[in-house]
Structure 1
Amino acid sequence: MYKILFFLIVTSQLSFSQITIKDSITNYPVSYATISFGNGNGIFADDEGKFYFTKKLYPDIDSLYISALGFKNHNISTQNIGTEIFLQPQVDELDEVIVGAKLNRKFKKETLKPYVDDDYYNCWLPTIESEIAVYFPKTTIKDQKVASVTFPIALESKDWKKRNRSNSDKKKFSTLFKINFYANNKGIPGKVLTYETIVFRATEKEGDFYTLIVDDNDIYIPKNGFFVSIQVLGYTDKVGKLLPNKKYKEIKGKDGGVIKIPTNFRPLLPFTNEIKTKNTFIKRVFISGNNWVKFEKGNGLKSSLLKRELYNYGIGVTYKTFKD
């Protein structure tokens, strides 16, 4: 009886705290929108545009700043928040689209392999506040598009003493990642190349990498190259539904105040020193007007990876180069 009563109380609280983000024109939900709290922290909506927010969960937050690809940014006071929030489409940012039949063009594939590493100390610990982008040049003057992207993943052994054994049991995880493609704007990620929402779920069953097929997204490579980025959205259930768990740990600071520390999610992302150029950039997702920073020493970044001169996340890419 106590368990049933507890379940009903929690369910009722969630039902009143559940908010849905929708397109103001179509009334369709906006998947995986970013909800910033204005203090460098925030959360994401799920695939149905839903997220949970209550004053009990976030007592110090009085405003929400909501953004999504293809929509105008929206600010709202938590005192005026209801069960639905509507975003206006950013029509003027959309590229011209030419509709026509797809031609069977001849092509050849070119693959850049990922850099895989299972060493815990060579890995980036993903948090939902950070987005990682990697630059790739165009390799020819001919038309090229991205066929697939391969993301290195580091698996962790359940038993630390057996971590170097290939047959050791691995820690389980089910984690959702969001992927973006950007044009090259004077050496940093610029305008998005596609407004389609692209996500994938990684588990320990995939092994040391996950290959995402994007051939149907028709991402053609600009003459000055492009960036592909990855950001963690959170853990999921068995069917890939984003869980509404809290993304921060709260600890007391020296002054008695509460400090929010972002939770680290698995899997870890291995960095490498085998790439000659520094192609990796980092930004804080929940800061308004956030800027991309090259992942290198002297840019105000604090990371043990920089001390070990591990400057790049070694994403792999397969291009389609068209012959005509």
Structure 2
Amino acid sequence: MMTKTLFFAFLITQSFVGQNIHFVDAESMEPVSFASISFGNGLGSFADANGIFLFEKKKYEDVDSLFVSSMGYKDLHIATNQLLEIYTMTLEIDQLQEVVLITAKQGKYKNKEIKPIAHSNYFHSWLPTVESEVAVLFNKIDNQSTKIATLLFPINIEESVGGKSSKTRDFSTMLRAKFYENKNGFPGNEINYGNVVFVISEKDNKELFELDVSERNIFIPQNGLFVSLQVLGTTDNKGVLLQTKKYNEIKTPRGIQKVSITFRPLLPFTNVIPGEKTFVRRIFFNDRKWQTFNLKYNPNSELIGKGYNNYGMGAKLHVYEND
């Protein structure tokens, strides 16, 4: 009788508390940090720094499969009705061979800067969600060996409407910078510089966030390097990624609609960069295909319609003389 009571208590606890799923490297058993977890319906989430994802059936009651991916590993497909505590992820040799390594340049260099373009207008800003990723291309300076030392991300902390700023709300958001080869003018194969993650809160600079990446030896290839920005989610006051639901469910006459939660900071887009230089994708939808941020991507976007179709990401560069 006692055994049966404890069993049912365990089931009730699991339904409310959920189950921690650990994703680890098959050889080293080290955590696969910040793995992407798609629910197969255009929505998803991420594991944390320890490779842990909390699956709660009550929170994700209509999710029957998890599709797990991470740079350099084979994808996993997991049924949620028979979850294990630990899943091992195997290195994808072919994918690793595609990465182009660039020898780090030594010696004297000149400091150059690609100026970021920032503003605080809410209506001219991109509203980030966890399924969205924004990328821009950086090229070598004068065809010389060029290293990205610092990334300069324009951000919008405050809401400014009609020149008036509203009260800044508290927030703490983890983001990730990623890097891609230039493949015919679009982001191509990802280049692995590790998990470049950082946290932005309302306490940071109002219009610009500087990210020092000088220790990662990020050199721009001959045909350029795409740098992207991606939201991972909300953190606690210690900067730890929280396992929160990344969308709201809203009752409508057509049934329950799932609407992605937007995160701060907003990303101010600009109308002063000529051409279409910004690329976006939804990482849990449409085969993660990159698209130019223009009216073909979203014919109803007021942001694009008004000409604010580029993100003015900047960078501080080290430019070395050619041998």
**Structure 1-normalised TM-score?**
0.88
Q: What is the 5 A alignment of 1:22-41?
A: 22-41=24-43
Counterpart residue number, 2:302: 304
Counterpart residue number, 2:143: 141
Instruction: Give the distance between the partners of 2:237 and 2:296, measured in 1 at CA.
Output: 42
Instruction: Give the distance between the partners of 1:44 and 1:18, measured in 2 at CA.
Output: 13
1:12 Cα deviation after fit: 6.6
Instruction: Give the distance between the partners of 2:143 and 2:149, measured in 1 at CA.
Output: 17
Counterpart residue number, 1:53: 55
Instruction: Give the distance between the partners of 1:317 and 1:66, measured in 2 at CA.
Output: 32
Q: What is the 5 A alignment of 1:148-163?
A: 148-156=150-158
1:148 Cα deviation after fit: 1.1
**Cα gap change, 1:316 to 1:161, in 2 (>3 Å):** closer
Q: What is the 5 A alignment of 1:1-324?
A: 16-95=18-97, 104-156=106-158, 164=164, 169-207=167-205, 208-255=207-254, 257-287=255-285, 289-300=287-298, 302-323=300-321, 324=323
Instruction: Give the distance between the partners of 1:196 and 1:301, measured in 2 at CA.
Output: 36
1:125 Cα deviation after fit: 0.7
Instruction: Give the distance between the partners of 1:59 and 1:183, measured in 2 at CA.
Output: 38
1:161 Cα deviation after fit: 8.3
Q: For structure 1, which segment, 225-234 or 245-254, has the greater mean C-alpha deviation from structure 2 after superposition?
A: 245-254
Paired amino acid for 1:94 = L
What 5-or-longer segments of structure 1 have no aligned partner? 1-8
Paired amino acid for 2:80 = T
Q: State the Cα deviation string for residues 92-151 of structure 1 (Å, max 9, x = none).
A: 322589899x77411111101111110111111111011111112222222112111111
Q: For structure 1, which segment, 300-309 or 217-226, has the greater mean C-alpha deviation from structure 2 after superposition?
A: 300-309
Query: Does the Cα contact within 8 Å between 2:21 and 2:87 map onto a contact in 1?
Result: yes
1:81 Cα deviation after fit: 1.3
**Structure 2-normalised TM-score?**
0.89
Instruction: Give the distance between the partners of 1:156 and 1:310, measured in 2 at CA.
Output: 19
Instruction: Give the distance between the partners of 2:302 and 2:34, measured in 1 at CA.
Output: 30
Q: For structure 1, which segment, 48-57 or 301-310, has the greater mean C-alpha deviation from structure 2 after superposition?
A: 301-310
Paired amino acid for 2:164 = N
Query: Does the Cα contact within 8 Å between 2:44 and 2:284 map onto a contact in 1?
Result: yes
Paired amino acid for 2:211 = L
1:308 Cα deviation after fit: 1.1
Query: Does the Cα contact within 8 Å between 2:102 and 2:221 map onto a contact in 1?
Result: no
Q: For structure 1, which segment, 73-82 or 31-40, has the greater mean C-alpha deviation from structure 2 after superposition?
A: 73-82
**Cα gap change, 1:72 to 1:142, in 2 (>3 Å):** same
1:220 Cα deviation after fit: 1.3
Q: What percent identity do the matched residue pairs reach?
A: 39
1:263 Cα deviation after fit: 0.5
**Matched length:** 310
**Cα gap change, 1:14 to 1:48, in 2 (>3 Å):** farther
Paired amino acid for 2:126 = W
Q: Alignment partner of 2:215: what SS?
A: helix
Instruction: Give the distance between the partners of 2:58 and 2:67, measured in 1 at CA.
Output: 19
Instruction: Give the distance between the partners of 2:234 and 2:65, measured in 1 at CA.
Output: 25
**Cα gap change, 1:170 to 1:253, in 2 (>3 Å):** closer
Paired amino acid for 2:223 = N
Instruction: Give the distance between the partners of 1:176 and 1:229, measured in 2 at CA.
Output: 14
Instruction: Give the distance between the partners of 2:152 and 2:246, measured in 1 at CA.
Output: 26
Query: Does the Cα contact within 8 Å between 1:170 and 1:204 map onto a contact in 2?
Result: yes
Q: State the Cα deviation string for residues 70-100 of structure 1 (Å, max 9, x = none).
A: 1111111112211112111113322589899
**Cα gap change, 1:205 to 1:11, in 2 (>3 Å):** farther
Q: State the Cα deviation string for residues 144-198 of structure 1 (Å, max 9, x = none).
A: 12111111111225xx789736xx7522211100110111000100012224111
Instruction: Give the distance between the partners of 1:145 and 1:271, measured in 2 at CA.
Output: 25
Query: Does the Cα contact within 8 Å between 1:38 and 1:288 map onto a contact in 2?
Result: no
**Cα gap change, 1:103 to 1:65, in 2 (>3 Å):** closer
Q: Alignment partner of 1:230: what SS?
A: strand
Paired amino acid for 2:19 = S
Instruction: Give the distance between the partners of 1:301 and 1:106, measured in 2 at CA.
Output: 48
**Cα gap change, 1:302 to 1:290, in 2 (>3 Å):** farther
Query: Does the Cα contact within 8 Å between 2:150 and 2:212 map onto a contact in 1?
Result: yes
Query: Does the Cα contact within 8 Å between 1:153 and 1:269 map onto a contact in 2?
Result: yes
Q: For structure 1, which segment, 12-21 or 183-192, has the greater mean C-alpha deviation from structure 2 after superposition?
A: 12-21
1:64 Cα deviation after fit: 0.7
1:300 Cα deviation after fit: 3.9
1:10 Cα deviation after fit: 10
